[in-house]
Structure 1
Amino acid sequence: MLELLLLQVLVSCLWLGHSEVVPSFKSPCSQVFYMDTPPSDSLNPTNAARICQFYDNKYRFTTLYDRNNRIPVYSAYIYKPGHGDRSDSWFVEPQLIKHNYRRDMDTEDSIIDTYGITSADIGKSQAIDKDYSDAQGLDRSHLCPSGHQSGDDKKATFTLTNIVPLYSTLNQGGWRNYEDKTVAQKTQGCDKTYVITGAVPGNTYISDGRVNVPSHIWSAACCVKGTTPIKAWGAIAENDKSSNYVRDLELWDLEQILSGLYGKPRITLFRNSCAKA
């Protein structure tokens, strides 16, 4: 009986140690969510993958990934901008290919060499580098931006499971201004800021229908002083090649808009709406 118990403990430890694609966000990467609580299940797609983004032996941020549309639903992270180098390569997620593959994000070439598979095998479950090579007028837009991270956390944002195709006019204009300037201003006085940035699936695709082009990109933040939430906000923009406008919103208004866009009941992004108890 004791041997069986020890075996069960060992199996559990191995599961936790090698789980990058996890059954739930309760562990091991729930700390990126305010009060360890992810958004409501209303955002979950049919074929979802929950990814604890793992790079260089450390969990970095979290992504809910839509395998069917091959874009993230959202990425959640803690805002901590600082110095660090960007990655020269794009990564993919080995455990989206096969669960017993290693958990560290890696380049396509490295995974192909290690497991003797092809780019087509990798692309069955996620976007690959080739999908974006002919995307005219569209940028690879980070949901967890490298500019909101520091050290090696910056490099970890260069996984294609953290990327959506965003029109250059928006990505390099209004949305960049929101990421670089607006967020920096709004986080003044915050000891910690929890951020969730997502994309609403659209009706068009790139790469012969493989990768969805979102209709909107959105972001929400919860600012905490000590252990007390002191403010929250949201932003949303239409992903249109002629649009460069980002709407600054109250958190509640953003949640209402998202409920309409996703066609789902009440969407909650932060526990207790990031409000004082």
Structure 2
Amino acid sequence: MRLFVGSVICVLLALNFPGIVSKLENNITQCGDFFFQGKAPVFPEILNDSVTQNDSYEIICQTYKNKSRFATLYNTTNKIPIFSAYKYTYQTTNRLGQMGQLWMTESQLEPLGVEMSEPFVKQARNQDYWIKKNIYKYIPGALFPIRHAADNETAESTLTLTNSVPLKDDFRKGLWSLVENTTKEDMDINCRDNNNNIVAYVLTGAIPGNETLHNRVNIPSLVWTAFCCFNRTSLYSRGYWAENKPRNETEIDLKSLDDLQKFLRTNLQIEVQLFNNNCSVNASQLRPILNASECHNKCHPLLQYVTEFILYILQGISNMLVSTK
């Protein structure tokens, strides 16, 4: 972490205000392996070919302790993210709360210089959430949540206001917490890479609303989330969206990716594509069946026998074809 410099440093020191040292990039895929098949989502007029389409948006490679942890597309006018993208690899962190600290800010978003008269012109600050000191009507809701972080340092890196949107307290602690847990459980069960490790590519975002905090920070009307992953030899995806208001739910069913994208297209009036090829692949791109040597170690004995028999038959057919030429 580091603090702002120049004329702002005294203010931040007085507030004990932490900053996260991240990078602003022109191409969001340069942030790291946070996107399915290395392809960024498409939001026409906002993000296309991995590049922002106007000056209201910044690409933030969320870097913490010298490591890129996730990527955020940030709206500096509304002072909230469009989405955060990360790779879920199973949660091992024990940091499940907000750790009782001020949320971090992104120092590189601010136009430092002698002409700067007001800090936080492009991003939210902790005071934006105060009605009176330490009294909140809305709380910061991290799009990349702590409970999806792979380790403690990654969990800490999510506590930045550039990864957060104002959420109703009861909604954040109620329904949206349920969505995060249900999504996590689904990914733990259904997402596996070639080495049988849990891996999923996740996007979580917000749709701006018509209200603001202190005439500065947009309060989103809706939040949404989606993931795409391999499920053995096929692909698997799910999504969900909800209005930013409390609801009494104890159980939810995740939606299809197609339903979520239709919803976003209707509400945003643009042809959104969250994952490359809509989280689908050609048959030639699917992971191959285990070969005989791999199967020897990983397969049931009967499956091992069947695999070796099929390979024997295929080899015989190949030899026959060669001999007839």
Question: TM class, shorter-chain normalised?
Answer: 0.7 to 0.9
Contact 1:143 1:162 in 2 (8 A): yes
4+ aligned runs moved over 4 Å, structure 1:
115-118, 244-247
* Identity across the alignment (%): 32
What one-letter code is carried by the residue in structure 1 that aligns with 2:171?
A: L
Contact 2:200 2:230 in 1 (8 A): yes
Q: 1:23 is matched with which residue?
A: 26
Deviation at 1:133, TM superposition (A): 1.7
Secondary structure at the counterpart of residue 42 of structure 1: coil
Structure exhibiting the larger radius of gyration computed from Cα positions: 2
1:187-266 pair list within 5 angstroms? 187-191=188-192, 192-207=199-214, 209-225=215-231, 229-240=234-245, 242-244=246-248, 248-264=254-270, 266=271
Deviation at 1:247, TM superposition (A): 6.6
Q: 1:141 is matched with which residue?
A: 141
**TM-score, length basis structure 2:** 0.67
Change (3 A) 1:196 1:252: same
What one-letter code is carried by the residue in structure 1 that aligns with 2:184?
A: V
1:125 aligns with 2:122: yes
Secondary structure at the counterpart of residue 62 of structure 1: strand
Deviation at 1:181, TM superposition (A): 3.2
Match 1:91 to one of 104, 110, 133: 104
Q: 2:34 is matched with which residue?
A: 32
Distance (whole Å) between structure 2 residues aligned to residue 116 and residue 187 of structure 1: 50
- Cα-to-partner distance string for 1:74-98 (whole Å, 9 max, x where unaligned): 0000113112446533211111014
Distance (whole Å) between structure 2 residues aligned to residue 236 and residue 76 of structure 1: 16
Q: Which has the higher contact order (CA 8 A, sep 6+)?
A: 1
Segments of structure 1 that go 5 or more residues without pairing to the other structure are 1-17, 102-114
Distance (whole Å) between structure 2 residues aligned to residue 130 and residue 21 of structure 1: 24
Q: 2:169 is matched with which residue?
A: 168
Distance (whole Å) between structure 2 residues aligned to residue 41 and residue 164 of structure 1: 19
C-alpha RMSD over aligned residues: 2.5
Deviation at 1:276, TM superposition (A): 3.0
- Cα-to-partner distance string for 1:59-109 (whole Å, 9 max, x where unaligned): 0000000000000000000113112446533211111014xx8xxxxxxxx
Change (3 A) 1:244 1:272: farther
Q: How many residues align?
A: 239
Q: 2:311 is matched with which residue?
A: none
Distance (whole Å) between structure 1 residues aligned to residue 166 and residue 29 of structure 2: 29
- Cα-to-partner distance string for 1:4-53 (whole Å, 9 max, x where unaligned): xxxxxxxxxxxxxx9711111131x2410111111103272740000000
Q: 1:51 is matched with which residue?
A: 60
Deviation at 1:140, TM superposition (A): 1.1
1:71 aligns with 2:76: no
Q: 2:18 is matched with which residue?
A: none
Distance (whole Å) between structure 1 residues aligned to residue 159 and residue 204 of structure 2: 15
Q: 1:271 is matched with which residue?
A: 276
- Cα-to-partner distance string for 1:149-202 (whole Å, 9 max, x where unaligned): 022000000010001011122111111011123431343131211100000000
**TM-score, length basis structure 1:** 0.78
Secondary structure at the counterpart of residue 69 of structure 2: strand
Distance (whole Å) between structure 2 residues aligned to residue 249 and residue 43 of structure 1: 26
Change (3 A) 1:65 1:230: same
Distance (whole Å) between structure 2 residues aligned to residue 19 and residue 155 of structure 1: 14
Change (3 A) 1:43 1:158: farther
